[in-house]
Structure 1
Amino acid sequence: MSKKPRSIPRQQYGVVPYRISAAGEFEILLITTRETRRWMVPKGWPIKKLGPLGTGLREAFEEAGVTGDGGPAVGEFHYPKVLRSGHVQHCRVELFALRVTDEKEEWPERHERDRQWFAHHDAAAVVQEEHLQMILLDFPGRLASAS
């Protein structure tokens, strides 16, 4: 049973991995979380020496096996993370665009997660976090206005 949420949000950084299909549509790569197996974008705790974007790029490789060109910030969302201790930590995730140029066959968390490409509107429909849904649904416009 989870315990009372910790009120001060902890910062995380992540990316929205994307590509443009042959038909010119934005596609988003989502991964499953380890424990609940829900769809999510790659994200993680800050890595001081890498900075915000670098942290997101590292998480994209470790969790999804993708690399590419890091881009602008495209939004943020909040979610409750259940820690191993049972405590619930409120997290704030700042997201950056990642234009995927390479998908690895082997990557560190390949046995712990699934990955799948979705049309951006379908990606928005399968994630649970409301603000993340809005970011994915509006992703092409957010990317254009941030560039």
Structure 2
Amino acid sequence: MLRQLAAVPAKLFSGAFRQQYGAICFRFINDGPGIEILVITSRESARWVIPKGWPMKGKKPFEAAAIEAWEEAGVRGAVKKKPVGRYTYLKDLDDGDVAPCIVDLFQVEVIEISNDFKEHGQRILEWVSPDEAARRVREVELKSLLVEFEVRPRNKRNPR
């Protein structure tokens, strides 16, 4: 990681960060308090990552994160509209260049899992504990967010 950072100092200090939106997809274990987090492999390097992608025209950030979760992992669910955290990383671009990115993360409580999605067969998907998810990903800030991840409760509508 430090070697990658050293190669792009001008970009890092020019404020040229690119925005992305990601999803921390989780499910409860046996309807209890414990959770599992979905990790997927990247298509190019087969590294463990979470679903994420670029902003989408006409979509709010949380909507873009939910779409990425569906396209990359075949999951849908209840998405929180406010980010639960953010992390930075260096994205290898198709032209061989590297772009520093900031990823805002949105909580997605998975309700539906499908085998019929855009990138099916291009990635490996696994449900793991938050600690195991943190061990698998490379980005230090993301590791910290996964270990400390706490489910934000559902909004309660005027109980009467």
TM-score (ref. length: structure 1): 0.91
- Equivalent residue, structure 1, for 2:26: 18
- Equivalent residue, structure 2, for 1:94: 104
Superposition RMSD in Å: 1.9
Between the aligned residues of both structures, percent identity stands at 37
Q: Return the alpha-carbon distance in structure 2 between the equivalents of residues 40 and 90 of structure 1.
A: 16
The alpha carbon displacement at 1:48 in A equals 2.3
Q: Secondary structure at the match of 1:139?
A: coil
- Equivalent residue, structure 1, for 2:119: 109
Which of 45, 48, 53 is the aligned partner of 1:36?
A: 45
The alpha carbon displacement at 1:50 in A equals 1.0
What are the equivalent positions in structure 2 for 1:36-55 lying under 5 Å apart?
Answer: 36-55=45-64
Q: Return the alpha-carbon distance in structure 1 between the equivalents of residues 88 and 40 of structure 2.
A: 18
Alignment-mate amino acid for residue 62 of structure 1: E
Q: Return the alpha-carbon distance in structure 1 between the equivalents of residues 131 and 35 of structure 2.
A: 9
Question: May I ask how many residue pairs the two structures share in their alignment?
Answer: 144
Q: Return the alpha-carbon distance in structure 2 between the equivalents of residues 48 and 106 of structure 1.
A: 24
Q: Return the alpha-carbon distance in structure 1 between the equivalents of residues 24 and 33 of structure 2.
A: 17
Which of 93, 96, 103 is the aligned partner of 1:83?
A: 93
Structure 1: where are the runs of 5+ without partners? none
Q: Return the alpha-carbon distance in structure 2 between the equivalents of residues 68 and 101 of structure 1.
A: 5
Q: Secondary structure at the match of 1:28?
A: strand
Structure 1 consecutive aligned stretches of length 4 or more whose deviation exceeds 6 Å: none
Q: Return the alpha-carbon distance in structure 2 between the equivalents of residues 107 and 59 of structure 1.
A: 11
Does 1:69 find its partner at 2:78? yes
Q: Secondary structure at the match of 2:118?
A: coil
Q: Return the alpha-carbon distance in structure 2 between the equivalents of residues 18 and 33 of structure 1.
A: 18
Bigger RCO (CA 8 Å, 6+ sep): 1
Structure 2: where are the runs of 5+ without partners? 156-160
The alpha carbon displacement at 1:112 in A equals 1.1
Q: Return the alpha-carbon distance in structure 2 between the equivalents of residues 46 and 86 of structure 1.
A: 21
Alignment-mate amino acid for residue 29 of structure 2: S
Where is the strand percentage greater, Structure 1 or Structure 2?
1
Q: Return the alpha-carbon distance in structure 1 between the equivalents of residues 138 and 94 of structure 2.
A: 21
Q: Return the alpha-carbon distance in structure 2 between the equivalents of residues 134 and 37 of structure 1.
A: 21
Q: Return the alpha-carbon distance in structure 2 between the equivalents of residues 105 and 43 of structure 1.
A: 19
The alpha carbon displacement at 1:24 in A equals 2.8
The alpha carbon displacement at 1:26 in A equals 1.4
